[in-house]
Chain A
Amino acid sequence: MDEEILQDFLVEATELLDQLNEQLVDLENAPDDVNLLNTIFRGFHTVKGGAGFLGVSPLVEVCHRAENVFDKIRNQDVAYDAEVADVILRAFDQISRIVNELNDGVRDFDEIDHLLLSELDAIVKGGSQEASFEPVLSEASGPVVSLSLPEGVDPDGEISDDEFEALLNQRDELIEGGKLSQTEVKLQLPEGVDPDGEISDDEFEALLNQRDQLAGADVKAVPEARLQLPSGVDPDGEISDDEFEALLNQRDQLLGGESNAKVPDAEPVLKAAKSAVVAKKATPPPSSPANSKAAGESTVRVDTRHLDAIMNLVGELVLVRNRLLTLRSAEASLEDISNAVGNLDHVTTDLQASVMKTRMQPVKKVFGRFPRVVRDLARKLGKDIDLELVGEETDLDKGLVEALADPLVHLVRNSVDHGIEMPSVREEAGKPKTGRIVLAAEQEGDHILLSITDDGKGMDPDLLRRKAVEKGMMDEASANQLDDKQAFMLIMGAGFSTAEQVSDLSGRGVGMDVVKNMITKLNGSIDIDSALGQGTRIRIRVPLTLAILPTLMVSFGRDSYAIPLTSVQEIFDYDANKTNTIDGQTMVRLRKKSLPLFFLTEWLRPGCTDEQRKGDKIVIVSIGNQRVGLVVEQVNGQEEVVIKPLGVMLQNIQGYAGATITGNGNIALILDLPGLIERFK
């Protein structure tokens, strides 16, 4: 297998599959959309073509059958209803799985899900009752060859579905047992086609594989094809795509087990075509399997315009450097230097933005999977749900796109499982039977705002408070002090589940705290709104990019620390008169509220004395849903920092998100506030 072509194919196939995943669900909602149908058809066809070229026969098999089904749908012989969709989606999953395996370096595929294939065939057959294949079959002038089929199968008699299935299985076993190897070798020879030999599934698959290569090539060795090919096919002439397609379909119908199909009649068709194929076969030397794992997730497609912009800026950067070099050697005036530095500032800022852009991907990459997730879940639960996607074109950092996928799946599943009620319940409540979930993304300054809104049953803050007390997470008094929003946030706690019954979907009480941790790790925040009986909205705010973090630089002594700016709310002077100690905890009064106050110096440099706190600053930060004050010696201002991983042996220390190198070349530690509070509380 040519690895380069394979990689190209994988990129293309992955993109197509992403689209198909969404389109297939769309089609179920709009079965009459001819354009959509054609797009899907083309999608399967393209994957099949590529797979055939590369010789990934299982992929060809599945795609081909799926294509047949869509052909029937296109001819309105079959309706794309939920049952058909189930089979098609399974076929799609099978295709995705194979593509993923290819991506993982698997190069040998032997098992095909025969059940799936026959189900696909069954759809084609079921929808084609009016269409007759008699001409094809009657044209066959008796058994041309007598096949050494297993005993019990009369070559002239009729064959039932079951018998045929058994036949296929036996054949597979024979092939596996190597008993057919000699025959196969014969068949591989260009001219030496043995008309008495058997044709195996594998051999036939080779035929499919070569379809693309065949198209346009002259086919001479089709002696028997005359007998069974539909009229109009010149055995000595070139075989067109369409003709070949017809041939494939014939074979599928025959294999599908038409009760009046005579197997021996069918075989010569296949063999003839096969001999033609084999004659044309130019098998590239097989490359060693799994010799290269697809780059897959580690590559990005970039618009060349972005690259041009970057190239341009790098050119500018070189100019600025040259200017500075000249200024160094000459007796430069301060103004000249200042100009050059100002120029440098602009160029680097633009360059940074441009490089960032290459990492941006539309949020569609994550959203694309949800129509399918919701569809499958809703069907499983017997619910009726419409999913609306808003703002799919919003760009965000590639790393974020990947990191957000799991949390969003959790949240959407929750909405489907817990949020949306059963159709009957909804009707009783006077709501439309079909539930509605809106998944939206929008850019908000340097943040991305994601929201999941459902019109389901909403959450009962009182129930949540009671649960919290029951589970011993807090006492009744403090539970009652929580406002509704804080009560909703309780569901983000570990081990907190309101589901009476644990299903395999959700209710174990592990999902939401994973979501929260993940979002916190991304320096994002979560906010829940809910109205009982009307629905729930969960909003997630994450920074646009992961690599660069806007921070507030604070310091004491020589040490500087960076606090992620997203959590900083306000800064004011420390005044000992405005603090109280309640139950051993120092609190600061801020607009009639008391917030816990922590001394960063004491935590990080134990043993500092009280006098030093003159002129200290209090930085109010929000951590999750609580606000606390951090006392620092000095606030140095805002700085955008590049996050670097802390060195080895330090990554397990709670409280640091990484380190960064500041403007003067020193190292500043980036604080991870939730971890820090955890460590010192």
Chain B
Amino acid sequence: MMNQISSIRMSENDDEGFSSVTVRCVLFQLDSEVYGINVKKVREVLRVGQIREVPGASRNVIGVINVRGVIVTVVDGRGVYNLPAKKTDDDSRIVIIEIDDDTSVGLMVDRVIEVKDIPESCVDLMAENREGRSAYIQGVAHYQDNVIVLVDTDVMFSNAR
């Protein structure tokens, strides 16, 4: 749970003007909210191409894609966070998340915004074992008027290994 936050780096010129410990995150949007995933967990971001559906897969699995010869499962980010379904459009992206050296999984998101260093001081860690959605949420960062939900990929794909 802690490793995402503890895998930190020193940032020299932080946006807020002082040097502090930061987490570099890929920020993306699902519905109206902004989410962040530690950049170390993200292998690449892909445009949505052809997705092959797999009949019989669980509800949140959209299907599989061919990433340079490797079959990668694509999970619907909206489904994971119980958001209303939406058709993919030009902004939609698949964030390829590394689970371990050999396995990765794609997360379908509405839009990828940017890569940002978030000061750790802005992050409120989520208490463990809270009901519902918090299962996949590591913490919430309040940063420059934004509320960023930090995604806990370890927990989200813990059953995928």
A interface residue numbers (CB < 8 A to B): 559, 603-605, 644-650, 653-656, 659, 661, 665-669, 679
User: Could you name 13 residue pairs across A and B whose Cβ atoms are closer than 8 Å?
Assistant: A604-B56, A646-B71, A647-B64, A647-B71, A649-B58, A650-B61, A650-B73, A654-B56, A656-B54, A659-B52, A667-B52, A667-B65, A667-B66
When distances are taken between beta carbons in the complex, the residues of chain B under 8 Å from A655 are 56
- In chain B, what residue has the closest Cβ to A603? B55
Q: In whole angstroms, how far apart are the Cα atoms of A649 and B71 in the complex?
A: 12
In the complex the two chains form, is B69's CB within 8 Å of A661's CB?
yes
Would A644 and B70 count as touching, CB distance under 8 A?
Answer: yes
Q: Find out whether the CB atom of A648 lies under 8 angstroms from the CB atom of B99.
A: yes
Size range of the chain B interface in the assembly: 20 to 34
Taken together as a complex, chains A and B put the C-alpha atoms of A648 and B72 apart, in Å, by 7
User: What 1/0 flags go to B129-161 for Cβ under 8 Å of A?
Assistant: 000000000000000000000000000010111
CB of B123 within 8 Å of the partner chain = no
Indicate whether B15 reaches chain A with its CB closer than 8 angstroms.
no
Contact, CB under 8 Å: A650 / B66: no
Complex contact B71–A644 (CB within 8 A): yes
User: B103 interface residue, CB < 8 Å from A?
Assistant: yes
Tell which of B52, B72, B160 touches A669, judged by Cβ atoms closer than 8 Å. Answer: B52
Taken together as a complex, chains A and B put the C-alpha atoms of A653 and B61 apart, in Å, by: 12
A646 near B105: Cβ-Cβ < 8 Å: no
Residues of A within 8 A of B52 (CB): 559, 659, 666-669
CA distance A653 to B58 in the complex (A): 9
Assuming A655-B56, A659-B52, A679-B56, what are 11 further A-B pairs, CB within 8 angstroms? A644-B69, A646-B71, A647-B105, A649-B105, A650-B57, A653-B57, A656-B56, A661-B66, A667-B50, A668-B52, A669-B54
The answer to whether B99 and A650 have CB atoms under 8 Å apart is: no
| B26, CB-defined interface residue at 8 Å | no
CB distance from A432 to the nearest CB of B (A): 55
Within 8 A of A (CB), among B58-104: 58, 61, 64-66, 69-73, 75, 99, 103
Q: Are A659 and B53 closer than 8 Å at their CB atoms? A: no
Query: Whole-angstrom distance between the alpha carbons of A669 and B66 in the complex?
Result: 12
CA distance A314 to B105 in the complex (A): 33
The answer, among A644, A649, A661, A665, for a CB contact under 8 Å with B57, is A649
Asked whether, in the complex, the Cβ of B75 is within 8 Å of the Cβ of A649, the reply is yes
A463, chain B: closest CB distance, angstroms = 40
Q: Which residues on A sit within 8 Å (CB–CB) of B55?
A: 603-605
With both chains docked as a complex, state the minimum distance between the C-beta of A669 and any C-beta of chain B, in angstroms: 7
In the complex the two chains form, is B70's CB within 8 Å of A649's CB?
no
In the complex, A666 Cα to B66 Cα: how many Å? Answer: 8
On chain B, the residues within 8 Å of A644 by CB distance are 69-71
Residues in B with CB closer than 8 Å to A604 are: 55-56
Can you name the residue of chain A whose Cβ is closest to the Cβ of B105?
A648
Q: Kindly report which residue of chain B lies nearest to residue A658, judged by CB atoms.
A: B71
Assess the B64–A649 pair: CB atoms within 8 A. Answer: no
Asked whether A665 lies within 8 Å of B103 as measured between CB atoms, the reply is no
- Complex alpha-carbon distance, A668 and B159, angstroms: 24
- Please, how many angstroms separate the alpha-carbon atoms of A659 and B71 in the complex? 7
Complex-state Cα separation, A659 to B65, whole angstroms? 10
| B54→A650 contact, CB < 8 A | yes
Contact present for B54 and A653 (CB under 8 Å): yes
Assembly CA distance A362 to B73 (angstroms): 37
A650 touches B75 (CB 8 A): no
Query: Using Cβ atoms and an 8 Å threshold, which residues of chain B touch A659?
Result: 52, 64, 71
Given the known A-B contacts A665-B66, A666-B50, A667-B66, are A647 and B73 also in contact in the complex, defined by CB atoms under 8 Å?
yes
Is B73 in contact with A649, judged by CB distance below 8 angstroms? yes
B56 touches A653 (CB 8 A): yes
By beta carbon, the residue of chain A nearest B58 is: A649
CB distance from B50 to the nearest CB of A (A): 6
CB distance from B63 to the nearest CB of A (A): 8
Q: Which residues of A contact B73 (CB under 8 A)?
A: 646-650
The docked-state distance in angstroms from the alpha carbon of A659 to that of B64 is 9
**Complex Cα–Cα for A193 and B110 (A):** 81
The chain B residue with its CB closest to the CB of A661 is B66
**Complex interface: chain A residues within 8 A of B54 (CB):** 646, 650, 653, 656, 669
Cβ distance B51 to chain A, nearest Cβ, rounded Å: 9
Given the complex, which residues of B lie within 8 Å of A667, measured CB to CB?
Answer: 50, 52, 64-66, 71
The residues in B between 95 and 132 inclusive whose CB is less than 8 angstroms from any CB of A are 99, 103, 105
**Alpha-carbon distance A656/B55, docked complex (angstroms):** 10
Residues of B within 8 Å of A650, CB to CB, are: 54, 57, 61, 64, 73
Complex-state Cα separation, A668 to B61, whole angstroms: 17
Q: Most chain-B Cβ atoms within 10 A of its Cβ — which of A645, A665, A668, A669?
A: A669
Which among A644, A645, A647, A656 has the greatest number of chain B C-beta atoms within 10 A?
A647
Residues of chain A within 8 A of B66, CB atoms compared? 661, 665-667
Please report the C-alpha to C-alpha distance between residue A653 and residue B73 in the assembled complex, in whole angstroms. Answer: 13
- Measured CB to CB, the nearest residue on chain B to A648 is B160
Query: With the chains together, A655 CA to B54 CA distance in Å?
Result: 11
Closest to B50 in A: A666
Listed residue (A605, A649, A659, A661) with the most chain B CB atoms within 10 angstroms of its CB: A649
From the candidates B53, B65, B160, name the one contacting A649 in the complex (CB within 8 A).
Answer: B160
Q: Which residue of A lies closest to B53 (CB)?
A: A559
Cα-based distance from A533 to B64 in the complex (angstroms): 55
Q: Name the A residues within 8 Å of B50 (CB-CB).
A: 666-667
Least CB separation from B57: chain A residue: A650
- Cα of A604 to Cα of B54 in the assembled complex, Å: 9
**Residues of B close to A605: CB separation below 8 A:** 55
What residues of chain B lie closer than 8 Å to A666, measured between beta carbons? 50, 52, 66
Residues of B within 8 A of A656 (CB): 54, 56
How many angstroms between the C-alpha atoms of A559 and B64 in the bound complex?
Answer: 12
Determine the residue in chain B with the shortest Cβ distance to A645. Answer: B71
CA distance A649 to B57 in the complex (A): 8
Given contacts A644-B70, A659-B71, is CB(A649)–CB(B61) below 8 Å?
Answer: yes
Q: Please give me the residue from chain B that is nearest to A642 by CB atom.
A: B69
Interface flags, B30-65, vs A, CB<8A=1, else 0: 000000000000000000001011111110010011
Q: State A668–B63 Cα separation when bound (angstroms).
A: 12
A559 contacts across to B, CB distance below 8 A? 52-53
| Distance in angstroms between the alpha carbons of A668 and B54 in the assembled complex | 10
Cβ of A549 to closest chain B Cβ, rounded Å:
15
Which residues of A lie under 8 Å from residue B160 when comparing CB positions? 648-649
Query: 5 shortest A-B CB distances, which residue pairs?
Result: A647-B73, A648-B160, A667-B52, A604-B55, A653-B56
**Please, which residues of chain B bring their CB within 8 A of the CB of A603?**
55
Q: Which residues of A contact B61 (CB under 8 A)?
A: 649-650
Nearest B residue to A604 via CB reads B55
